[in-house]
Structure 1
Amino acid sequence: MEFDLIHFYVENAIESRNWFIEKLGFQAIASQTSQHTQKEIINRGQVYFALSSAITPESPVANFLNLHPPGVADVAFRVRDLKSVVAKAAVNGAEILQPIQQNLQGLKWAKISGWGNLTHTLVEKIDDAQILNSTSQLSKDLVGIDHVVLNVAEDNLTSAFNWYHQILDFQPHQNFDIQTKKSGLRSLVMTHPEGEVKFPVNEPTSANSQVQEFLDANRGEGIQHIALRTENILGVVGELRSLGLPFLQVPATYYSNLQTKALSYLSETEWQKVQDYQILVDWQEKLPGAMLLQIFTQPIFNQPTVFFEFIERKVVWVNGKQMSTPGFGQGNFQALFEAIEREQMKRGNLGKINMK
């Protein structure tokens, strides 16, 4: 299983398309208009998004936006055997929203219900040569969707995992319990046994948790962020900062505590850029040389809901094979949580936090 496409429901698909082009370096590749919905398809490298807005009240986008602010409505997965995946999903309780269909080019897909109001389009995997690829030189640095994070209500984490385990065969991979003096969250990282999909689920462990803030702003459970994987995070982030994309801030003290170790992995020039761009750094102790570099944007809509992550998993050679950090680092997760807490403080949802 692999991520295929993320579908956003927005207020104005064309304005959103233009924002993604101007601030994230995407390019427009298709535009579709039905009687009730405007749909724009965009991509950068191997990352594809759909942006849909309502033309009439009959549009499914209109119904979604009556329940939630703009956000992710559908996470699509590529699967090897669509017929068996859909059959298993149906037997285990998923609603089949769209039965298997096929276009003239032989592409097969179906749509099932997901957790809450989320849906999942399932696309039968085809040869890589048949997958649309960007021709833009600028776009070759995003190599795919690394993970997508689902936020659920308190005490729903186990239920959400059990649902995805039964419906799509996701397996537990990592657990995190992140706490500060002010708030906390619990996270379970799900992965699929066949492929690259990582699908973390978060729940709040305090009334003022960033997860609870999301749930309140989103008016329910949903996708909190999408991580885009790159093999050149310094180049990508440098470009995006020049385009004016706003990122979460990291205090200088974070880097002073890491400098000695970081300089055994990075050149002095690279380390300076990591600090200048405010990129988080972590390591996989069980895989010497493997390094995790991450950075997070501010929310992309008016509400503190959806944001993006850019992630690079540094590759190392082990016994003649290329390997990269497979999961997530506790240090980076804690640093992200604290960075979002500082943004909550600015919005007046937490007590004062000193930014050094």
Structure 2
Amino acid sequence: MEIRTVDHLEFFAEDAEEAAARLCTGFGFTVQGRGELSDHVSLLLRQHDITLLVTSPLTATHRAYDYLARHGEGIAVVGLAVDDAAAAFAEAVERGAAPLAPPRTLDPDGSPVTFAAVDGFGDVEHRFTSRRNPSGPFAPGVITERRQPAAGLLREVDHLAVCLPAGELDGAIRRYREVFDLEQTFEEEIIVGSQAMHSKVVQSASRGLTFTILEPDTSRDPGQIDAFVEANEGAGVQHVAFRTEDIVAGVRACGAGGVPFLSTPGEYYAALPGRLGQVGVPVERLRELSILADRDFAGVMLQIFTASTHPRRTLFWELIERRGARTFGSNNIKALYEAVEREQAAAQA
């Protein structure tokens, strides 16, 4: 099976209207569609190649009802763009995936879209999606759209970070390789003070789908991955990274929209020139906006993480600008987790 990219992400929310408004005001998305059935309401948000479906249950019969009760708001569906959703579904089930929704084709206007879903990790499902017309409607006959030109500073979903309970990482990587034909492209042990975590990355051959998957190292003190799994009551999406071509402008725009970002101590920037050399943005500008920088064999990466506004302090977001870099800011993990600990301490105070 060939997974080309992330077709869409579905976000389960207590109040779809309110959650969509936050994403539009904060991150520059626009509402381009709406669908309401007897058991749920969904709003369709777009920005360039990013599509978010924000869904709230109207009755206890919709899957979002139990998901929200167990996990709170979060990414519950990762839509995978493939050439033939029915064939991908059959192949995945034959390889051991649990079927969640059989293939269903929507075609009221000659632009067929097929959806089919299997289990992913925790309570997050993977929805194979194939479209005859990639620029056509999202779900014809179900979502009423008013398509507008793409706008905003965010271009695509760069990657999703996933937290797993201890002991589940190797099995998850093996499953993604064997069931979804993803390739493991990176791994490392990340140590932050007395805590540590294992990290592995799997990607589609196209590199249009990337999961950074984390589990805690139980030989060391419990840390933030343990805290996520406990608060989320199991595996889930810790953050979604949106790629931008101008992170400075992106941070300014999102900040003006009320998005809170994690701060970084000045010492980080004092050491930056000696560690990385020139990164294309003046250090003082990076310091002003708390943007992190890293370099790998292919180039430079600039990134920043939002503070979590989730009641359980689980889900947050990332903005990332890639200037050739292909990895994920390993040298910034320590700064990130120290910033999260400061934020959590302030919240508790």
TM-score by length of 2: 0.89
Shift in Å, 1:347: 4.8
The number of equivalent residue pairs is 333
Name the residue aligned to 1:225: 239
Name the residue aligned to 1:312: 321
Q: Residues of 2 paired with 1:311 and 1:134: CA distance?
A: 25
Shift in Å, 1:181: 2.1
Name the residue aligned to 1:210: 224
- Which runs of structure 2 are paired with 1:199-278 in the superposition (5 Å)? 199-205=211-217, 206-260=220-274, 264-266=278-280, 268=282, 271-278=283-290
Name the SS of the counterpart of 1:84 in structure 2. Answer: helix
Name the SS of the counterpart of 1:154 in structure 2. Answer: coil
The 1:37/1:45 distance shift into structure 2, 3 A limit, reads same
User: 1:280 pairs with 289, 292, 305, which one?
Assistant: 292
Shift in Å, 1:272: 2.4
Give the counterpart letter for 1:110 in structure 2: A
Name the residue aligned to 1:328: 328
Q: Report the identity percentage.
A: 26
User: 2:24 pairs with 21, 31, 34, which one?
Assistant: 21
Name the SS of the counterpart of 1:258 in structure 2. Answer: helix
User: 1:58 pairs with 61, 71, 81, which one?
Assistant: 61
Name the residue aligned to 1:101: 104
Name the SS of the counterpart of 1:257 in structure 2. Answer: helix
- Which runs of structure 2 are paired with 1:106-125 in the superposition (5 Å)? 106-124=112-130
Deviations 1:236-290 (A, max 9, x none): 111111122101111110000013566633254xx32211110000012x23xx2
Q: Residues of 2 paired with 1:267 and 1:328: CA distance?
A: 19
Give the counterpart letter for 1:337 in structure 2: Y
Retained in 2: the 8 A contact 1:45–1:134?
A: no
Q: Residues of 1 paired with 2:287 and 2:191: CA distance?
A: 25
Q: Residues of 1 paired with 2:191 and 2:40: CA distance?
A: 43
Deviations 1:46-87 (A, max 9, x none): 211111111111121112123221111111110133343212
CA RMSD of aligned residues (A): 2.0
Give the counterpart letter for 1:329 in structure 2: G
Name the SS of the counterpart of 1:99 in structure 2. Answer: strand
- Structure 1 gaps of 5+ residues are 315-323, 350-356
Q: Residues of 1 paired with 2:344 and 2:136: CA distance?
A: 44
Q: Residues of 2 paired with 1:200 and 1:190: CA distance?
A: 7
Q: Residues of 2 paired with 1:29 and 1:295: CA distance?
A: 27
The 1:149/1:109 distance shift into structure 2, 3 A limit, reads same
The 1:262/1:53 distance shift into structure 2, 3 A limit, reads same
Shift in Å, 1:131: 7.1
Name the residue aligned to 2:184: 172
Q: Residues of 1 paired with 2:293 and 2:243: CA distance?
A: 15
